[in-house]
Each structure stands twice: as C-alpha cells, then as structure tokens.
Amino acid sequence: MAEITHPPMEQLQDLEYCIDSNPSWPETVLLAFQNYILMLGSSVFIPTLLVHAMGGSNGDKARVIQTLLFVAGIKTLLQALFGTRLPAVVGGSFAYVVPIAYIISDSSLQKISSDHERFIHTMRAIQGALIVASSIQIILGYSQVWGLFSRFFSPLGMAPVVGLVGLGMFQRGFPQLGNCIEIGLPMLLLVIGLTQYLKHVRPFKDVPIFERFPILICVTIVWIYAIILTASGAYRGKPHLTQQSCRTDQANLISTAPWFKFPYPLQWGPPTFSVGHSFAMMSAVLVSMVESTGAYMAASRLAIATPPPAYVLSRGIGWQGIGVLLDGLFGTGTGSTVLVENVGLLGLTRVGSRRVVQVSAGFMIFFSTLGKFGAVFASIPVPIYAALHCVLFGLVAAVGLSFLQFTNMNSMRNLMITGLSLFLGISIPQFFVNYWDERHHGLVHTNAGWFNAFLNTIFMSPATVGLIIAVFLDNTMEVERSKKDRGMPWWVKFRTFRGDNRNEEFYTLPFNLNRFFPPT
C-alpha cells in the first residue's frame, strides 16, 4: 500500500493567524468591518421575517434591527473576553422563529385591533419569554451541567453535529440565491474565483487582498451591479418575490431609520410573562445551545486552537444565557446563537484572530446607533448573502467532517453512526419543515400550543437531531470495545482544562481573572 502522506493533524496548518496572533491594525480594522458586513444578513433577515407579522411598521423594523445589532456587539464582546474566548460572533438566531411565531399567533394578542399596539404587546411577550428561558442556559452553563454532558462527546459524535451546523443551513443557500439568479450566481462565482484561484495574487505589498478581503471586494462589486439593474428599470413589472429579492430599494430601511438612536433596556415597555410562552421559548434555547456548541468546535479548529474543554464550553454557554437575557431586556425580537457564517469566514480568510472579532463588535455597536449609516449597509440584497452562505456553510460542514480523521472509518460501527446521524439529521427536520404552514401549524399539532412549538423547534433543528442520534448511538453501541475507533485516546485530554498545556494559552480569562474563577 502506498505511504499515507496526510496523517491526522490536531491543528490546521495553513492558516495565517491563530487565535492569539494579530494582523496589523489596518488589516484588523478591515477584517473586522468584513465580519460586520457578513453578520448583517441574519440581523436584517430575522426582523424582516417577524416584525410585520407582529404588526410593526418599517420604522419598527429599522429600530429592531438597530437593537439587534447593538446587543449583538455587546454579546460578541462578552463572549470573546469572558466566555469561550473563541473568535465567534454572537447574533440573532433562526432557532427562535417557531416559538416566536407561536407567541405572535396567541389569540390574546391577535384580537388587538391597532397594529402598533399589537406590535408593542407582542414584543413585550417575546421579551418576557426570553428573560425566563435564558435561565436555562445560565443554569446549565454556570453549574457546569452542560460541561458534564459534553463528557459523552467524542470525535465520532461531534463530526456529524458540526457537519449539520453547516449542512442544516442549506435553505439559506441556493434556494435564496435562486430568487435572483442574475445577482446571486455572479456573487458565488466571484467569491470562489477570488479566494481560490486568485488568492496568491498580491497587487499591494505582501497582503493577499483577494484572499483576505473577499467579502468587501465581492459585495461592493455585485452591490453596485444590483444598484445599476434597479436604477435601469430591469425589474419593472416583475413578480413581487423577484422585486423583493433583487431590488436594492425594497428594504425601506434608509428612509425609516433615525439618524441617531441609542437602544436601551425596556425601550418597548415592561415585559409580560406567560408560562406557555416561556416553555415554548425554552426549546429554542436548548437548540441554540446545541448549534453553538457545534459552532464553537468548528471555530476552535479554524482558529488553530484545541477543542474547548468542558469547563470552557460551560462558561461560554453561561455567557450565552446572559446574552439571551440581554435580548429580553433590550427587545431584539429573537434570541442568541453563534453565527455560523462568521465561523466559516475564519477559514475563508485564514485569519482566526480573536482581536478581529472584538473590533467587529465595536462596529456593530457604533453603526447600530447611527441608524441611517447602518441602514445603507443593511439594504444589501439577500441573494448576495445567500451566495456567501453557500461557501461559508459548506466550509463549516467540511470542518465538522474533518473530526473523522481521528476515528477509524474502516469500522462498520462508525460508518453506521456517521451515516445515520447525517442522513436523519437532514431528513427528519425537513419532514417537520414540510408540515410548517403560514398559520404556524407544524407536524406536532395538539391543543397545547406551547407543546407544539417546543417539539417542532427541537425536531426542525438538524444539529439537534444529529446530536441526539449520534451521541446516543455512540454511547450505547459497543462502547468499551470501540474506544480507539471512536477517537477517544486523542479526545480525552481535551475534556479537562489542565488536560493539555495549550488550553491555558487559548482559554485563560483576561485581567488575571482565573485567580477568582479557577478552571476545573
């Protein structure tokens, strides 16, 4: 047999900057702004999906987007400083859409005749549910319960989970790109061309600008192209979906956004609390924990760090719970998760620097207060983001599958677990999604709305379904006989903070805080 030239490697070797190394300040600022531009896609799309259904106006939507960006900046900074300390952007989560849709359809809110009053009361109900549900993450994180549960993880179990964190986002890829193929496809081809075929071209000094700043370059070119198409009347008389997807003047954000607005807690009024709403929201909190855990695993690999130990993972989940609490207090209209697209950007640019993400948090806070300026960037058409998602979600999925190099993939046991987890992780959620209709009825449809929302949310998440299947099978099928096949000899040293000397370099708290919060 020919010699194997690519043995398993604990850390990726071809990244330029790891978690603790930093580019020059001009590069850092541009990379941070690139992270900000990328996270705008989710930050605009979620309020666009929900605010009008809540009864809100375009002005309300602009204000919710500002609030979401402001709080995202705070959460990202807290996570990078005191949480996992990985270069991960924390923003709005799509996992919360189902329970929020359940709250929106509540009969007590639907009977409010005034749209604006209905929006305010719905927002307060969402805030109350988020505040209560955040306690789940805070308790599971700071009590180390989530860390204890992570002891059941292995490379074999994590590979499909992290893979599904990327693959499970397929609906936000080409299906959205295809809504405006004349914008989305050139964007996709341009990103691939610049980052893969022109990455060694360096017109300015020693900086590979096409590899380092592909989003800034590609978004600028295709956005200008989209503006020209809109101004020339190319979409006049086209169907509504085409106009919404392709035109650059359909977001109605610039005209409705204030010049300056500083979001503050309880800006919508005092939150209202309901047991049913809170229980429904807890399902999204659990899903976001699973998805964020997978994203943290991918981020650690793309930042050339060790997999986060149980203590660090719990610390990050605890701070994410604080983030959901902030979402409830400020009224962002949704909860928190790690943005998968920004994790993929670490690999695309080959920069895993923590400082870049910290500076990007500053951009989020700054532009959220300057409404008109932020609204300009927030009006980028969705198909442009969808093209980026095709590349970035796919990259994260591949990072997840790379964990399989530490397992024995000549084992039928491992092949069965991996295949079943991946297939059912996509198939089961899609089955549930097919039953989701405009009246917010899902496959689980009993008289208890909170119960319906709870189960539908859990089983509409590919990563959550994949985790349930992979971890259960991996810890019940021939466990003792398969320790080496599962990759446990490599994985076990990362379970505890002191299991590997590199953990201290990557995950120690700043300002010498480890004296007061000693790791376990």
* Burial bucket for residue 401 (CB in 10 Å: 0-12, 13-18, 19+): middle
Q: Is residue 256 part of a domain?
A: yes
Q: Report yes or no: 61 and 253 within 8 Å, Cβ to Cβ.
A: yes
Q: Report yes or no: 278 and 129 within 8 Å, Cβ to Cβ.
A: yes
Q: How far apart are CA 465 and CA 426, in angstroms?
A: 8
Range of the domain at 323: 25-497
Nearest to 319, CA basis, from 489, 81, 518: 81
- pLDDT tens figures, 364-421: 999 888 877 777 777 788 899 999 999 999 999 999 999 999 999 999 999 999 999 9
CB atoms within 10 A of CB 305: 26
* Burial bucket for residue 1 (CB in 10 Å: 0-12, 13-18, 19+): exposed
- pLDDT tens figures, 485-507: 898 888 888 888 777 788 888 88
Q: What is the 3-state secondary structure (H, E, C) of 116-143?
A: HHHHHHHHHHHHHHHHHHHHHHHHHHHC
Q: How far apart are CA 454 and CA 460, in angstroms?
A: 10
Residue 149, H or E segment: helix 145-149
Q: How far apart are CA 139 and CA 136, in angstroms?
A: 5
Q: Is residue 6 part of a domain?
A: no
CB atoms within 10 A of CB 374: 28
Q: Is residue 427 part of a domain?
A: yes
Q: Is residue 158 part of a domain?
A: yes
The pTM of the full predicted model, rounded to 2 decimals, is 0.93
* Burial bucket for residue 340 (CB in 10 Å: 0-12, 13-18, 19+): buried
Six-digit token pair at 252? Answer: 């109605």
Q: What is the DSSP string of 79-124?
A: HHHHSS-SS--EEE-GGGHHHHHHHHT-HHHHT---HHHHHHHHHH
Q: Report yes or no: 324 and 149 within 8 Å, Cβ to Cβ.
A: no
Q: Is residue 512 part of a domain?
A: no
Q: Is residue 444 part of a domain?
A: yes
Residue 317, H or E segment: helix 310-330
Six-digit token pair at 146? Answer: 């989530």
Beta-bridged to residue 91, according to DSSP, are 337
Alpha helices in 168-237 (DSSP H): 174-177, 181-192, 209-212, 214-231
Q: How far apart are CA 1 and CA 10, in angstroms?
A: 24
Q: Is residue 172 part of a domain?
A: yes
Give the number of domains in the chain.
1
Q: Report yes or no: 507 and 296 within 8 Å, Cβ to Cβ.
A: no
Q: Report yes or no: 476 and 280 within 8 Å, Cβ to Cβ.
A: no
Give rounded-to-5 percent helix, strand, coil for the chain: 70, 0, 30
Nearest to 457, CA basis, from 436, 479, 476: 436
Which amino acid is residue 366, in one-letter code? F
How far, CA to CA in Å, does 377 sit from each of 151, 223, 228, 253? 42, 10, 16, 10
How far, CA to CA in Å, does 375 sit from each of 37, 58, 177, 242? 11, 12, 22, 21
Which pLDDT does position 242 carry in this prediction?
Answer: 84
Which amino acid is residue 505, in one-letter code? E
Strand pairing report for 336-338 and 90-92? antiparallel
Which pLDDT does position 127 carry in this prediction?
Answer: 97
Q: Is residue 15 part of a domain?
A: no
Residue 469, H or E segment: helix 462-474
Residues of the chain with pLDDT under 70: 1-5, 250-253, 255, 438-441, 516-518, 520
- Helix then strand count (H, E) for the chain reads 24, 2
Q: How far apart are CA 15 and CA 30, in angstroms?
A: 18
> For 518, phi and psi rounded to 5 degrees?
-65, 135
